[in-house]
Amino acid sequence: MKINKEGYIIISVTGIICLAIWFLVYFFIKGWEAYLWFMAGFLLIFWFFVAAFFREPRRVQIHDADGLVFSPCDGRVVVTEVVTDDEYLKEEMLQVSIFMSITNVHMNWMPVGGEVEYTKHHHGRFLVAWHPKSSTENERTTTVVRLKDGRKVLIRQIAGLIARRIVNYMKVGKSVEQNSVLGFIKFGSRVDILIPKDSELFVEIGDPVIGSQTPIARISNIHKEN
């Protein structure tokens, strides 16, 4: 299993803490062998769980799929609605929100290819990720990509109740391929994607999706720039 680089420090520190706890338990309750074996098993399982959270799956990368928008993360669809983006686009867009549980892979991928036009990190609250206000009040990072035809797609990485750090690799002016790595959100969280409102939607609320593999929509009326 490959581990994402964002997890190296956390996994190492967790391992050291688990070892320290076991040695303290061993020192204070010598002779209670059954309890010591239980603690060793519990701490080992906990450490493996933390390591597994940062797993980086190997997946076939699909690039330049004509008009298709892929899921930016693993999880389950919790919102499909038309909203008005007040941060950057200033227009009505079709929003698809995907909730990532603590057991999901937490890497994020670019749902479309193009040029990064805008990116900004917002400090905020840590409401549960499925809360309606989490899109505008939680800690979040916004990325806007301009497609080849000039239309724009907004991706918003949102921290949840447990997540406290969002990693985003995008920079303004950077050309990105579809399904390349966008970033990482540590522990439970959510990703919103805002696409042109006339797009053809392929998913419904409650549908499970796989990041970089599941098409969630097709942008309609693709046209080339003059």
Tell me whether strands 114-122 and 107-109 are parallel, antiparallel or unpaired. Answer: unpaired
The pair of structure tokens assigned to 83 is: 């909203």
CA angle, residues 46, 210, 45, in degrees to nearest 5: 10
For the four alpha carbons of 212, 213, 215 and 219, in that order, the dihedral sign comes to positive
Q: Which is catalytic among the residues 189, 199, 212, 220?
A: 189
Per-residue CA distances from 188 to 23, 144, 163, 191 (Å): 31, 23, 6, 11
Contact 183/108 with Cβ under 8 angstroms? yes
189 in active site: yes
Residue 176's closest CA among 199, 151, 144?
144
Per-residue CA distances from 17 to 24, 25, 161 (Å): 11, 12, 23
How far is residue 37's CA from residue 207's CA, in Å, rounded to a whole number?
41
Contact 211/72 with Cβ under 8 angstroms? yes
Task: Tell me which residues are annotated as active site.
Answer: 189
